Amino acid sequence: MTLVAFWFLVLTVLWVGFLLLEGFDFGVGMLHGVVGRDERGRSAVISTIAPVWDGNEVWLIVATAGTFAAFPGWYATMFSGFYPVVLLVLVALILRGVAFEFRSHSESDRGRRLWGAALIGGSAVVPLGLGIILGGLLGGVPIDGQQEFVGDLGDLLAPYALATGVTLTLICLLHGAAYLALRTAGADLHARARRAARALAPVTALAVLGFCIWTRVVAGDGFLLSFVELAAVLAAIAAAVLVGGGREGAAFAATAATMAGVVVSLFSELYPRVMVSSLGAANDLTAQNTASASYSLTVMTVALAVLLPVVLVYQAWSYVVFRGRLRGPRVGTGDPGPVIPAPRRAPVPAGAPSGGVPQDVERAVTPTVAEATDAHGDRGGGVRPVRRMATGGLAVLLAWLLLRQLVTRATPH
């Protein structure tokens, strides 16, 4: 593998990391007013991402800086051509960060509602705008022979680019809902998060399927999905099944796999190009004709090998520290109290009968039989849906392999 190909792979990983980690932050920001119906509930929802949201944005900064250093020609054309969208995304990122702080310090209901709306808007605009940019790379924009953008705003808002933005936004919503179902322990908050995930899952799965087929067609490879695109579709379907079965951890992993699959499929269809020109293939920007000199890429590789493990270890440690579920006051009951991590096992107060737990503590920590029973009335915890999903996924994979073999044999060489 050449250094040019290696750094294209590094940028792909950085974009996957950003949208994977910050994706559920965007989803929580968009859903905090839906899952948290009152002020206590909204504060508890926001508290689930409070320790990590700003650290997750580092991935976007590194991806941008890496593009500038490794592919300066790509950076110059992309950021100058998509300048209006980039500016909108930057404003949304700033507004979103300010909303986190100002909302927590606002003393009036009107102020909290204002900054809550800013948080929702900023969390929606960023994935939509970034999706438009990433979709435009593959969908094509007017670029001349001097590697300069010669179009206007209408060229940036092409149907495929808009579809990419909408798809990423929907995945972020589902990713955030699955994250909230995993990280909340209060009965009301947990139930609303699950309802939101169930409502979003079918729409997101259809959007991912349509996006992957469209991506394949735009890349000029027909409608038959690649392995990565098929994996993304199967992960989206798995997420829809798992959120219905109440398996929060597996559902969150499936939404993460969906996000990763969508981003990887876009970059894999793009390579070795980095920007497609709608004026002709001769004007396409490629990784080779926009890359830095070999010496620069070598120095960057050494720096990456030293610094990236440190960043990964630190961020992994922060997630381990804040891994517990959050349980705030009982939302909607007027019961005051801080938002605290839910204990894994209820402590037995002094003076309590041996081997027993007070009923109010037990109800706060241990789910009832009705809560543990899935939507089909069994206590399998989603085992039956998972079996059906595994069987269906295997059948789809075998059908895909067979169809791909038939198409390959029928295509003249």
Instruction: Encode pLDDT of 83-136 as tens digits.
Output: 999 999 999 999 999 998 888 787 788 888 899 999 999 999 999 999 999 999
Helices (H), 140-247: 153-156, 159-183, 187-218, 227-245
Tokens matching residue 98: 């300010």
DSSP class of residue 275 equals E
pTM: 0.80
Helix (H, G, I), strand (E, B) or coil at 217: helix
Higher local confidence (pLDDT), 353 or 213: 213
Summarised one tens digit per residue, pLDDT across range 159-180 is: 999 999 999 999 999 999 999 9
Can you say whether the dihedral through the CA atoms of 215, 290, 155, 123 is positive or negative? positive
Task: Let me know: does 186 contact 44? Beta carbons within 8 Å.
Answer: yes
**Integer Cα distance of 380 and 384 in angstroms:** 7
**Integer Cα distance of 181 and 313 in angstroms:** 26
Q: Which element (helix H / strand E) includes 37?
A: none
- pLDDT number for residue 408: 56
DSSP class of residue 333 equals T
**Integer Cα distance of 105 and 110 in angstroms:** 12
Mean pLDDT of 43-65: 87
- pLDDT number for residue 52: 80
Mean pLDDT of 147-162: 94
pLDDT at 390 over 60: no
DSSP class of residue 133 equals H
Comparing C-alpha atoms, which of 132, 254, 262, 122 is closest to residue 201? 254
Comparing C-alpha atoms, which of 58, 61, 71 is closest to residue 3? 71
- pLDDT number for residue 411: 55
Query: Which of 53-57, 244-248, 357-361 is predicted least confidently?
Result: 357-361
**Cα-based distances in Å from 321 to 34, 314, 328:** 27, 11, 18
Give the pLDDT band of residue 50 (cuts 50, 70, 90): confident
- pLDDT number for residue 333: 43
Query: Which of 31-45, 128-142, 340-354, 384-398 is predicted least confidently?
Result: 340-354
What value, to the nearest 5°, has the Cα angle with vertex 211 and ends 209 and 276?
A: 150
Rg (CA), the chain: 23
- pLDDT number for residue 273: 95
Tell the burial category of 87 from Cβ atoms under 10 Å away from its Cβ (0-12, 13-18, 19+).
exposed
- The residue assigned the tokens 């990784």 is 287
pLDDT at 256 over 60: yes
